[in-house]
Amino acid sequence: MCVASVTQSAPIQKNHIPEDLRDPFYTDQYEQEHIKPPVFACYFPALSRKGIYVVESDDTPVTEEDLACMPIKMSAHIPMIDALMMAYTVEMISIEKVVASVKRFSTFSASKELPFDLEDAMVFWINKVNTKMREMSEKEHKVKHHPLESPSHQKLHVMHELTDCMLKLEKLKEMVRYRREHGSGRQVPFFPPVEDLMRDVCDGAALLAVVHYYCPDLMKMKE
């Protein structure tokens, strides 16, 4: 069952679960696992206390019978899975936590940028991290390439090389070609902005930038 698989894989703390619900499954005569009815009964009040209501696409409330019926009723299981994921998200993140996190490394206008819900908070956080990463990369790129871009340095260096090679044409061509290939060709990594959470994180680029910002040893920029 779909909801059964989500329940089985959920990160839970055993000491917070009632004794009769610590093993939420039973196996039938065909060796198929099913969720015990008392578990279904616990889902709905627990979710409603968090302001999360399980309804089908036509706003029909999902019932315990819908989740227990065979064959499986996907129109009931999918919204229940969505509700369980939302409940876990609410436990893990809040607008206040996101704002506090962003304040540690960035500034923003509270009147214009303050997120209004959890999805907007995620977009806000990812964009702020990506903006910070872009600023850091641009600064690093500028510092790293400043000697090549400095006119005074270039002038002295070129004059020295011209003197050393005694104006040999082939040597000069080689020097200019090396500068063109190794100087101006380098680019700052691209950090894409996120506008729609579901659409714009599909390629993983924005999320990987977030992982790199907080755990640079685990996710290298070149990867």
Of the segments 135-149, 171-185, 193-207, which one has the largest average pLDDT value? Answer: 193-207
Beta-carbon contacts of 138 under 8 Å, excluding residues fewer than 6 positions away, are: 188
Confidence of residue 127 (pLDDT cuts 50, 70, 90): very high
Check the CA dihedral 69-74-78-81 and report its sign. Answer: positive
Confidence of residue 146 (pLDDT cuts 50, 70, 90): low
Q: Which residues pair with 34 in a beta bridge?
A: 26
Q: Which residue has the tokens 């340095």?
A: 153
Confidence of residue 40 (pLDDT cuts 50, 70, 90): confident
pTM exceeds 0.75, yes or no: no
Peptide bond into 11 cis (omega under 30): no
